[in-house]
């Protein structure tokens, strides 16, 4: 079992969360989904996280700064909810992003949520806010 406080610190340093917009063929409205994860050269740690929270691990092709392989553990949409809820009390650097991600997921999961223009604009605002936060590198930069 992964120590959650340690995992939150690991995530603060090596993790990411994004709200992604994709246009679907034949549909008027875009699809929004959330992706969270951690990238690192230590595959065993990522496997422990995967055992605890599900998701999947991919191999990344980074060059130039390391001779080790780089791996990325990722989890999407509602499958990210237990992970984000568990680390949120302990995050420091990416706390605002984690809170925004949780708000996004709760908005999408609300049964009253519909595809109205107002709701889509609200979700788009959350996506833009996340993009700004991620470009700043967190609240301490």
Query: Pairing between strand 31-40 and 70-76?
Result: antiparallel
Does the pLDDT of residue 112 top 90, yes or no? no
What is 4-136's CATH superfamily? Homing endonucleases (3.10.28.10)
- Bridge partners, 38 (sequence order): 15, 73
The confidence band for 107, taking pLDDT boundaries of 50, 70 and 90, is confident
> Is pLDDT larger for residue 121 or for residue 15?
15
How does pLDDT run across 32-49, given as a tens digit for each residue? 999 999 999 999 999 999
Measured CA to CA, the distance from residue 21 to residue 63 in angstroms comes to: 28
Please name the residue that has the structure tokens 């989904």. Answer: 33
Does the pLDDT of residue 141 top 60, yes or no? no
What are the extents of the domains in the chain? Answer: 4-136
Neighbour order of strands in the sheet with 56-60 = 15-22, 31-40, 70-76, 56-60
Contact between 27 and 135 under an 8 Å Cβ cutoff? The reply is: no
Question: 95-112: string of b/e by CB count within 10 Å (b at 16+)?
Answer: bebbebbbebbeebeeee
Strands (E), 1-132: 15-22, 31-40, 56-60, 70-76
What count of residues does the chain have? 141
The pLDDT, as a whole number, for residue 69 is 82
Q: Mean pLDDT check: name the lowest of 39-48, 66-75, 85-94.
A: 66-75
- Bridge partners, 15 (sequence order): 38
Q: What is the mean pLDDT of residues 24-30?
A: 75
Does the pLDDT of residue 20 top 90, yes or no? yes
């Amino acid at each position: 079992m992964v120590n959650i406080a340690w995992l939150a610190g690991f995530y603060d340093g090596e993790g990411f969360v994004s709200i992604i917009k994709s246009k679907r063929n034949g549909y008027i409205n875009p699809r929004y989904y959330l992706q969270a994860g951690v990238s690192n050269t230590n595959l065993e740690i990522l496997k422990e996280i995967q055992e605890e929270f599900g998701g999947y691990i991919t191999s990344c092709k980074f060059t130039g700064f390391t001779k080790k392989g780089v791996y990325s553990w990722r989890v999407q949409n509602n499958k990210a909810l237990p992970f984000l809820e568990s680390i949120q009390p302990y995050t420091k650097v990416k706390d605002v992003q984690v809170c925004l991600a949780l708000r996004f997921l709760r908005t999408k999961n609300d049964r009253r949520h519909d595809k109205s223009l107002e709701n889509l604009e609200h979700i788009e605002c959350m996506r833009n806010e996340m993009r700004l936060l991620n470009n700043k590198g967190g609240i301490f930069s």
